[in-house]
Structure 1
Amino acid sequence: MDAKVVENIYLLVIVTLISVLQNVFFAQKVERECKSRNANASTFDRVSCANRNCMDAYPTFLAVMWCAGLCLNQAPAAFAGIIYLLVRQKYFVGYLGQTSQSTPGYLFGKRIISFLFLMCIVGIFNYLLLRYYGSDYKEYVETITNAASTLLLIP
């Protein structure tokens, strides 16, 4: 693979691999609860439901993270991806207690997905401006997204 290509995607690849490990952890937790003989059905149902909810949002997360990283800038996209994985862990663990404990993780995750989606739109819009009008605002937009990505830490 070309070194220039790897330079532009290595952070996204690292976040993707970490997310795969997290999915393995979630699946093992479900399997452990399934095999546990003394577990009640409600515990298994909560673990299974939390895993299913995380897996339902996973393709959307990967798509917007990769699109944001490729269309605009990989650093803030990867940072948002790491924060999303932490939030998803909080959601999963919160779901094991009471379902109301998972709500903050869910809402925070939606905000991160929205940020990544906005990065995608801005990156595509900048590409279209460059292609059809010769105006490239990528440096300005990258500066703004680098600064705005730190705002994701505010709960």
Structure 2
Amino acid sequence: MSEDSVGLAAVTLLGVLEQVYFSLQVIYARRKFKVSPPSTAGPPAFERIFRAQANCSEYFPIFIIVLWISGVFFSEALSCLCGLLYIYARLRYFQGYSESAEGRLDPLYSSARVLWLLIWFCGLGVLLSFCRVYLKLDLIKGLCAALGLV
């Protein structure tokens, strides 16, 4: 692995560890509320923990994909920062949802904004790379020249 992707790998590992933590919380909740697999129905407190973990797991592949595409094609530093913000927002989401359904909303919106930002970075990074590689047009260099920054 090149040194260029160490930050992305670290954020990915942190995200995986967060997913493991969420899964362990479901196991503990199953024991606490006596809800045996494969059942997903139980007391509301169990169901909130179960749904929070399931929701976080559903978005995790999307997060990892856009984190890496954004980091490779746009900016590793900005992607890592966004990744850390996303992981923190998802932790707050899990904790908030575990307490009450309404407790998930603010962190949900925060994590969605960060995810959309990463998606935007992906699109921009791929577009800039496409123009540079296939059209031999460096849009950043052209923009800097037009603004007199070169």
1:27 correspondence with 2:23: yes
Note the residue ranges of structure 2 that are not aligned, 5 or more in a row.
Answer: 36-41, 144-150
1:109 correspondence with 2:105: no
- Aligned positions of 1:132-151 closer than 5 A: 132-137=134-139
For the pair shown, the structure with the greater C-alpha radius of gyration is 2
Kindly tell me: are residues 132 and 48 of structure 1, through their superposed partners in 2, closer, same or farther at Cα, counting changes over 3 Å? same
Note the residue ranges of structure 1 that are not aligned, 5 or more in a row.
Answer: 142-155
Q: What's the CA shift for 1:66?
A: 0.5
Q: Secondary structure at the match of 1:116?
A: helix
* Distance of 1:124 and 1:43 partners within structure 2: 43
Q: What's the CA shift for 1:20?
A: 1.0
- Aligned positions of 1:56-135 closer than 5 A: 56-135=58-137
Runs of 4+ aligned residues of structure 1 deviating over 4 Å after TM superposition are: 37-40, 138-141
Q: What's the CA shift for 1:135?
A: 2.2
Q: Contact 1:12–1:69 (CA<8 Å) still a contact in 2?
A: yes
* Distance of 2:111 and 2:92 partners within structure 1: 10
TM-score normalized by the length of structure 1: 0.81
Residue of structure 2 in register with 1:44 after alignment: 46
Kindly tell me: are residues 70 and 140 of structure 1, through their superposed partners in 2, closer, same or farther at Cα, counting changes over 3 Å? farther
Residue of structure 2 in register with 1:9 after alignment: 5
Q: Percent identity?
A: 26
Q: What's the CA shift for 1:108?
A: 0.8
Higher helix proportion, which one?
1
For residue 44 of structure 2, what is the amino acid of its counterpart? S
Q: What's the CA shift for 1:131?
A: 2.2
Q: What's the CA shift for 1:41?
A: 1.7
Q: In terms of mean alpha carbon deviation, does 59-68 or 40-49 score higher?
A: 40-49
* Distance of 1:140 and 1:45 partners within structure 2: 54
Q: Secondary structure at the match of 2:97?
A: helix
* Distance of 1:97 and 1:140 partners within structure 2: 52
* Distance of 2:7 and 2:117 partners within structure 1: 17
TM-score normalized by the length of structure 2: 0.84
Q: Contact 1:9–1:74 (CA<8 Å) still a contact in 2?
A: yes
Kindly tell me: are residues 37 and 68 of structure 1, through their superposed partners in 2, closer, same or farther at Cα, counting changes over 3 Å? closer
* Distance of 2:92 and 2:115 partners within structure 1: 16
Q: Contact 1:34–1:44 (CA<8 Å) still a contact in 2?
A: yes
For residue 112 of structure 1, what is the amino acid of its counterpart? V
For residue 91 of structure 1, what is the amino acid of its counterpart? Y
